[in-house]
Chain A
Amino acid sequence: MSTTNGRDARAERGPAGASARERRGAPQDGSAEMAMVARARPASYYGRAVLKPPVWGEDIAYYFFLGGLSAGASLLAVGADQTGRSALRRGGRLGALGSLGLGMFFLVKDLGRPERFHHMLRVAKLTSPMSVGTWILSAYGAACGMAAAAEVWPKRLAPRPAGRLLAATGRPAGLAAGLLAPVVAAYTAVLLADTAVPAWNAARRELPFVFTASAAASAGGLGMIVAPPSEAAPARRLAQYGAIVELAASRRLEARREVALEPYLFGNAGRLLNRASALTAAGVLGSMLAGRRSRVAAVASGAALLAGGMYERLGILRAGVASTTDPRYVNGG
């Protein structure tokens, strides 16, 4: 886990550390007159931020986490449905709808005018990842809802027309949710990257992988909690894949050594991401060592994976905010 250690070692240093200052160069226009003016600090307006810090609160991190979790759970449910793992299917479908619903609650709550949330539905804009996401989420939510309804429809009402309809549509609805799920997990990364926020924009190639991988790890964790160990082998494997890619992607972010990526390593965000890596690693190790035999170990590992996914999103949110409040991330210096 050198990723974890690397973050540890630098977490105590302030943001915009040595490399930010090293980057400070001569004035861009290069006029001799400018160069003669000695500056005690990099050029900025009283150190004031150039950008506005995001107005998004922790709610949006909760939404990113829950949306990703829902997507991964839908994928697990499809596989479980096809391979006859009924507990995993049931837990996956209900977990997918539940986390989506809770996620939507946080998403709407974070609006400045929550009662106007439906204004998102008055346009469809390809240039706005939030608009694209709204429409994908709407379709995904409907599919998720139908799959979950098939799961909870009472047995004794099965002969009713609605019951027969749900029995027939449960599987295709679950499949549709599963096909849309990867986009649900990935679009939120585009949403963050498509901003002027230095830490998010600079990570535009890595963020989608961090987000889908984290969704896989969280959903794997959920699978280990809701299904008995005998059914949860695919959940364990999904969690492992997710954890490996997530740790690899965050390593890559570190290795690039870009000034704008520093907030992922330092301060509050660095600590949160550190914790995320540790929890994810612990969850995967726990599931590999004891997840097959002990339900208690499986539930504990699953919980660690879920917590890891949560901290990952919180850390990414905080890193973005930190990168906007320091003008050096925008103008160098």
Chain B
Amino acid sequence: MRLAANSLSGPVEDVAGQAGHREHPPRMGFFTDTSVCIGCKACEVACKEWNEVPEDGLNLLGMSMDNTGSLGASSWRHVAFIEQPRRLARHDAGIAGLPVGPSGTEATAGIVESALRRAPRGGGELGTSPYEPGHVPAVPLADGPERTDFRWLMMSDVCKHCTHAACLDVCPTGALVRTEFGTVVVQQDICNGCGYCVSACPFGVIDRRPGDGRAHKCTLCYDRLRGGLEPACAKACPTSSIQYGELDALHERARGRLEALRASGVAEARLYGEDATDGVGGCGAFFLLLDEPAVYGLPSTPVVASRDLPAMWKAAGVAALGLLAAALSAFMEPRER
């Protein structure tokens, strides 16, 4: 195996080509524009239906309207809901003077967080298997400081189909592959459930499904793409919050949308995952966000661990030589009497 330029990190011109595809279509991806998401969860449903993704537990989580909680082995699209006591550009929420209490997110976050910590997998159950939050006390919204502004952020999260996909790098069976479209897919007949990809993904996307034992995540509807169709979620999205297409064209469109939003006063709008110089070489699925990535549960500076792999092996080599030397010298000392 020859190591080409930027094979472990950094920008890559032709991802599918680097993976060995000769004749291949352009790189395809998602642009998820969260500024127009209405939280209908049609994407979640369409994905489950098309991909026959099993139920991940029917639980009330206390996370605003989000009762999925996270991407996981059995949730390949996840709509996040964040309630904030602030104004979106020039919008008038129409609640000034009304008896509304504190933001739901602020009030419930602490309760939800401590319930998550108590779960057997520390909340890793979300999106994968049933999770019982226990008793979540009702928050009396009439109490507390009155709000004059309100905005509700919604974001449909998905596998990022990274340029440098850590999950793919570490997979020891070759189950995870780069497709001709530049997307990242698990071959279910190969995966032996070693779980390495789960710990490698810097976005917390892929997970192992209990009972089934294999790793599962978004395939960017590989089968539909092969048939010339768009992915099920993009097809179902009624507001075009989820846009599917050639990645280059999507980048163009996203930059235009960002400019338009900023011009109309949404100064906090930003793109996430479109930058080819970021820690994963840019994402095949990128987003327009209205707050810091951390607010949506995204890592603020995701990095593919393979970036440092040569340095890690170097350290391991030194340590291994040290062990050899220690063993040698243990025998070289004069024998004790």
A33-41, A150-158, A159-167, A298-306 - the one binding chain B: A33-41
> How close is A119's CB to chain B, nearest CB, in angstroms?
4
- Cβ-based interface call for B63 (8 A): yes
- Cβ-based interface call for B335 (8 A): yes
- Cβ-based interface call for B69 (8 A): yes
Q: How large is the interface on B (under 10, 10 to 19, 20 to 34, 35 or more residues)?
A: 35 or more
**A48 with B192, Cβ < 8 A, contacts A196-B201, A292-B336 known:** no
Residue pair A40, B305 in contact (C-beta under 8 Å): no
- Cβ-based interface call for A23 (8 A): no
Q: Which among A76, A194, A325 is the interface contact of B312 at CB below 8 angstroms?
A: A194
Residue of B nearest to A79 (CB): B331
With a CB–CB cut-off of 8 A, which chain B residues contact A195? 166, 170, 196, 199-200, 305
Interface positions of B from 289 to 337, Cβ below 8 Å from A: 291-300, 302-303, 305-306, 308-309, 311-313, 315-324, 326-331, 333, 335-336
With a CB–CB cut-off of 8 A, which chain B residues contact A44? 109, 113, 294-295, 297
- Cβ-based interface call for B172 (8 A): yes
> How close is A25's CB to chain B, nearest CB, in angstroms?
11
> How close is B313's CB to chain A, nearest CB, in angstroms?
6
Cα-based distance from A6 to B154 in the complex (angstroms): 45
- Cβ-based interface call for B204 (8 A): yes
Q: Which among B63, B174, B194, B326 is the interface contact of A122 at CB below 8 angstroms?
A: B174
Q: Which among A28, A126, A238, A331 is the interface contact of B330 at CB below 8 angstroms?
A: A238
Q: How large is the interface on A (under 10, 10 to 19, 20 to 34, 35 or more residues)?
A: 35 or more
Q: Which among B62, B203, B319 is the interface contact of A186 at CB below 8 angstroms?
A: B319
Residue pair A46, B309 in contact (C-beta under 8 Å): no
Cα-based distance from A99 to B166 in the complex (angstroms): 31
Cα-based distance from A114 to B194 in the complex (angstroms): 9
With a CB–CB cut-off of 8 A, which chain A residues contact B175? 119
> How close is B189's CB to chain A, nearest CB, in angstroms?
9
With a CB–CB cut-off of 8 A, which chain B residues contact A327? 294, 297
- Cβ-based interface call for B112 (8 A): yes
> How close is B235's CB to chain A, nearest CB, in angstroms?
27
With a CB–CB cut-off of 8 A, which chain B residues contact A237? 329-330, 333
- Cβ-based interface call for B190 (8 A): yes
- Cβ-based interface call for B224 (8 A): no
Chain A, residues 290-325, CB within 8 Å of chain B (1/0): the string is: 001000000000000000000000000000110011
With a CB–CB cut-off of 8 A, which chain B residues contact A119? 173-175, 190-192
Q: When A and B form their complex, which 4 residue pairs have the shortest distance between CB atoms, in order from nearest?
A: A112-B193, A47-B113, A112-B213, A45-B297
Q: List 7 interface pairs A-B (beta carbons < 8 Å), by A numbering.
A: A47-B114, A49-B124, A51-B199, A76-B327, A127-B8, A212-B322, A237-B333
